[in-house]
């Protein structure tokens, strides 16, 4: 399998022009292999024991529905998802032989992704705790407990704060990969005629452009695997309660108690009254310590 593509420039120098499309297929097959392995392994493990219930004192006053994602957080998530899918389709469908005018759509989707990420950073910094998604000591212990439970086919269930450790790890990984895609994508936009500036293909030397192309391509194929894994976990039966919260914004009381530690994710304003039916308000959950972002 070839990893890089090379070509001769006008001065007959061999330079990098990007990654081999074999890498794209490798990323897709890697994502599929992970999904199949995980699904078969979990199916073979059978039903795990029920997680321990919360202490009686910690359940007092919890409402029926607890807000997990506000409107702003959900709007960012689905905007970013739209931009990400558009970028992947316009980047790789032409490689599969599906030809269309993809360049303009691709860079416009890139601008949408940049704006959504910039909004998220500002919103998380000013409205929430910016550091809430960073790994802390208890998260490391949770990761080892989850891995041990998965590999030994025992109950590795652990109740977390608002964000479980595996969610934080995925967040960091997708942030790094998407960051490389954004930075290199902005540089590559200089070579495309846009309303923002005049095309300038000579901003960098050919050898430097080759490095930019390779980094952009590697981040793109990495996103294929990451997006496949994200969708897989989003539609797994035991994870549907999280997916639903990204549509409606709330989680049920039983789901909250099963998966979250009330001492690590404290619900504000619990008076013991039931929350209103769907369409009405939900109680606001105020994360403690590092669990304050949406």
User: Which structural domain range is residue 111 located in?
Assistant: 19-34+71-247
Of the chain, the percentage scoring pLDDT greater than 70 comes to 84
pLDDT of residue 286: 56
Mean pLDDT for 153-164 is 77
Q: What are phi and psi of 48, to 5 degrees?
A: -85, 165
Asked if residue 43 is part of any domain, the answer here is no
Does residue 167 contact residue 85 with C-beta atoms inside 8 Å? no
Both structure tokens of 116: 């959504």
Asked if residue 110 is part of any domain, the answer here is yes
pLDDT of residue 12: 83
The total of other beta-carbon atoms located within 10 Å of residue 206's CB is 17
3-state secondary structure of 11: coil
Burial of 102 (0-12, 13-18, 19+ CB in 10 A): middle
DSSP-assigned letters across all residues of 137-159: HHHHHHHHHHHHHHHHTS-----
How many angstroms separate the CA atoms of 126 and 122, rounded? 6
Least confident range of 13-17, 50-54, 145-149, 179-183: 50-54
Asked if residue 252 is part of any domain, the answer here is no
DSSP H or E stretch at residue 24? helix 21-45
pLDDT of residue 42: 84
With bands split at pLDDT 50, 70 and 90, how would you rate the model's confidence at 264?
Answer: confident
Of the chain, the percentage scoring pLDDT greater than 90 comes to 54
**Each residue's pLDDT tens digit, 194-243:** 888 889 888 899 999 999 999 999 999 999 999 999 999 999 999 999 99
Asked if residue 229 is part of any domain, the answer here is yes
pLDDT of residue 274: 42
With bands split at pLDDT 50, 70 and 90, how would you rate the model's confidence at 58?
Answer: low
pLDDT of residue 185: 96
pLDDT of residue 276: 38
3-state secondary structure of 206: helix
Asked if residue 263 is part of any domain, the answer here is no
Inform me whether the pLDDT recorded for 182 exceeds 90: yes
**Each residue's pLDDT tens digit, 15-42:** 888 999 999 999 999 999 999 999 998 8
Mean pLDDT for 152-175 is 84
Asked if residue 260 is part of any domain, the answer here is no
Asked if residue 143 is part of any domain, the answer here is yes
Phi-psi region of 91 (alpha: psi -120 to 50; beta: other; left: phi over 0): alpha
pLDDT of residue 48: 53
pLDDT of residue 293: 42
pTM (two decimals): 0.83
Give the CATH number for residue 217: 1.20.950.20
Count of domains observed in the chain:
1
Asked if residue 3 is part of any domain, the answer here is no
Inform me whether the pLDDT recorded for 269 exceeds 60: no
Both structure tokens of 157: 């269930």
């Amino acid at each position: 399998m070839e990893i890089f593509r090379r070509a001769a420039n006008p001065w007959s120098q061999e330079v990098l022009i990007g990654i081999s499309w074999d890498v794209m297929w490798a990323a897709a097959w890697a994502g599929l292999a992970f999904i199949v392995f995980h699904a078969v392994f979990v199916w073979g493990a059978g039903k795990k024991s029920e997680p321990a219930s919360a202490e009686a004192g910690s359940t007092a006053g919890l409402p029926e529905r607890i807000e997990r994602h506000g409107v702003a957080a959900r709007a960012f998530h689905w905007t970013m998802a739209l931009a990400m899918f558009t970028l992947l389709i316009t980047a790789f469908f032409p490689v599969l032989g599906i030809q269309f005018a993809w360049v303009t759509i691709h860079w416009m989707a890139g601008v949408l992704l940049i704006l959504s990420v910039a909004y998220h950073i500002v919103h998380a910094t000013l409205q929430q705790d910016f550091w809430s998604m960073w790994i802390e000591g208890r998260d490391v212990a949770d990761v080892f407990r989850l891995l041990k439970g998965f590999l030994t086919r025992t109950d590795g269930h652990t109740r977390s704060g608002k964000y479980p450790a595996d969610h934080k790890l995925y967040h960091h990984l997708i942030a790094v990969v998407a960051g490389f895609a954004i930075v290199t994508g902005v540089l590559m936009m200089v070579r495309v005629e846009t309303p923002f500036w005049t095309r300038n293909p000579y901003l960098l030397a050919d050898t430097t452009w080759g490095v930019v192309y390779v980094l952009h391509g590697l981040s793109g194929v990495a996103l294929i695997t990451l997006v496949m894994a994200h969708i897989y976990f989003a539609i797994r039966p035991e994870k549907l309660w999280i997916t639903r919260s990204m549509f409606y914004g709330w989680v049920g009381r039983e789901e909250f108690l099963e998966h979250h530690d009330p001492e690590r994710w404290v619900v504000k304003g619990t008076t013991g009254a039931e929350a209103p039916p769907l369409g009405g308000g939900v109680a606001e959950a105020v994360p403690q310590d590092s669990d304050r972002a949406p």
